[in-house]
């Protein structure tokens, strides 16, 4: 037989043909082995059931295996039809012919049926995860044999019956043990694959970080060097002033890059812990605006800080850094003329806003804004610089406090970001 360009019989086909041959051999030879005591009707019933079973098996053999059968013993050897119909056939067989057999045949048939049961245990091992299910089909034969020995007693009924029941118990234990071993091996493989993916992702992230650091730190430093050359060569005071501003902008960009690099490394290493306490929101907003005022002047942007008496439960340093990242993001990328830092109560929570009147966030960029190393396509850096870590770091710091940072996609004529914190029950210290 030729399949997929290969010549010869495949292993699943050989397994099925061997099993079918054994079934046919058993159900044609056993009636002869028992002898003339077996009624003709019983012999015809057993052989008719056997032929119907083999015919169904052969029909399944030339059909494609369904998806659920992948990973099992050769299809259709382990199909529900073959398992259940095979058990039913063997059970019916020994009830129809064993009453007419002598003790030697009884013992031989018991040995054969128990061997068959063991084979079916292997055939019914489920592809993981099995959820702890134990197939009942392999238990049918030993339990039926124990019942048969009660209905048709002989001098060996007691030991054979005890053996049959014990074997049924052992069958269940073996199937459970083998299934558990398969499930554990599968789980270990999944854990190993997940660990390898995580290691690969961390390696790739570090590689991207180093590549981004090398590339982006070089740009503002190169711009500073070129601007310095212009300051030294320019005779026009206005040109020298413009070049000097560019130097200040370049060094500011370098400082921001280094700060965000260190911030990212600390967050990645788990070296940052949140220490939440009541924080006065108004003074915090004022500090963030004041710290970013020099950069805003260089960019020609006005920072407006709202006053507020609200108190939030937060880590003051982390909250200040989150707001600072959002403000720096607006100054560097938004191409705005005005940035508003404000706050609004939202029931038991407080939402701090950073809103600009710049170019806004394209819809295509919004889903990935808070991922590492991602920058919007409308970034407005005069000097490119920036790892794309500001928003990602803001989200990590917010998560340490149990807070949330997000972009408001419904905002028009600019962009709006917010961080939401719990309101404090007590007043802020100081």
Final residue belonging to a domain, choices 139, 168, 192: 192
If you search the block for the tokens 């970001």, which residue do you land on?
Answer: 417
Final residue belonging to a domain, choices 164, 192, 220: 192
Model pLDDT, residue 384: 41
In a domain, 240, yes or no: no
* 142, 290: one domain: no
* 158, 293: one domain: no
pTM over 0.85, yes/no: no
Give me 269's structure tokens: 């290493």
Model pLDDT, residue 230: 66
CATH number for 388: 3.30.565.10
In a domain, 221, yes or no: no
Q: 10-residue block means of pLDDT along the chain (430 residues)? A: 46 78 77 77 83 85 73 71 79 82 76 74 67 67 83 82 80 77 82 84 67 58 66 71 70 67 65 84 92 84 92 90 88 88 92 92 82 60 53 85 90 91 73
In a domain, 106, yes or no: yes
Query: For the chain, how many structural domains are there in total?
Result: 2
In a domain, 268, yes or no: no
- Residue 395 β-bridge partners: none
Final residue belonging to a domain, choices 192, 224, 251: 192
Calpha distance 135→133 (Å, rounded): 7
Report the alpha-carbon angle 144-146-149, nearest 5: 110
* 168, 300: one domain: no
Calpha distance 254→97 (Å, rounded): 92
In a domain, 81, yes or no: yes
In a domain, 228, yes or no: no
* 173, 303: one domain: no
In a domain, 267, yes or no: no
Model pLDDT, residue 296: 87
* 174, 52: one domain: yes
Model pLDDT, residue 3: 43
In a domain, 75, yes or no: yes
Strands 338-346 and 302-305: parallel
Q: Can you give the C-alpha Rg of the chain in angstroms?
A: 39
Residue 190 CB coordination number (10 Å): 12
Model pLDDT, residue 101: 77
* 145, 280: one domain: no
Model pLDDT, residue 207: 67
Domain that holds residue 292: 273-422
């Amino acid at each position: 037989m030729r399949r997929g360009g290969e010549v010869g019989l495949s292993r699943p086909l050989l397994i099925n043909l061997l099993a079918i041959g054994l079934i046919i051999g058993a159900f044609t030879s056993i009636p002869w082995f028992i002898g003339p005591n077996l009624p003709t009707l019983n012999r015809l019933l057993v052989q008719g059931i056997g032929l119907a079973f083999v015919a169904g098996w052969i029909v399944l053999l030339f059909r494609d295996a369904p998806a659920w059968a992948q990973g099992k013993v050769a299809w259709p050897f382990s199909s529900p039809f073959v398992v259940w119909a095979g058990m039913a056939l063997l059970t019916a067989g020994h009830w129809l012919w064993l009453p007419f057999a002598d003790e030697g045949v009884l013992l031989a048939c018991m040995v054969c049926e128990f061997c068959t049961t063991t084979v079916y245990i292997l055939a019914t091992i489920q592809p993981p995860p099995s959820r702890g299910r134990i197939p009942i089909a392999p238990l049918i034969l030993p339990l039926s044999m124990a019942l048969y020995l009660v209905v048709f007693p002989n001098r060996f009924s007691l030991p054979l019956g005890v053996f049959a029941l014990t074997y049924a118990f052992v069958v269940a234990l073996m199937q459970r043990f083998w299934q558990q071993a398969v499930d554990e091996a599968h789980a270990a493989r999944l854990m190993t694959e997940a660990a390898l993916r995580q290691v690969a992702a961390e390696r790739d992230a570090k590689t991207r970080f180093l590549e981004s650091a090398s590339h982006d730190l070089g740009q503002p430093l190169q711009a500073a060097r070129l601007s310095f050359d212009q300051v030294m060569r320019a005779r026009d005071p206005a040109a020298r002033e413009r070049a000097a501003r560019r130097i200040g902008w370049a060094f500011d960009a370098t400082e921001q890059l280094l700060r965000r690099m260190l911030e990212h490394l600390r967050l990645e290493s788990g070296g940052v812990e949140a220490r939440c306490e009541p924080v006065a929101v108004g003074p915090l907003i004022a500090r963030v605006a004041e710290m970013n005022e020099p950069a805003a002047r260089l960019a020609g942007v006005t920072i407006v800080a709202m006053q507020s008496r609200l108190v939030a439960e937060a880590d003051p340093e982390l909250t200040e850094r989150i707001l600072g990242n959002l403000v720096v993001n607006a100054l560097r990328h938004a191409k705005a003329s005005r940035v508003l830092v404000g706050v609004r109560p939202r029931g038991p929570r407080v939402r701090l806003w950073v809103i600009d009147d710049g170019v806004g966030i394209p819809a295509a960029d919004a889903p990935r804004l808070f991922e590492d190393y991602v920058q919007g396509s409308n970034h407005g850096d005069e000097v490119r610089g920036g790892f794309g870590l500001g928003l990602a770091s803001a989200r990590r710091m917010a998560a340490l406090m149990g807070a949330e940072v997000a972009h408001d996609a419904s905002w028009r004529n600019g962009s709006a970001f917010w961080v939401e914190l719990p309101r404090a029950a007590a007043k802020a210290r100081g």
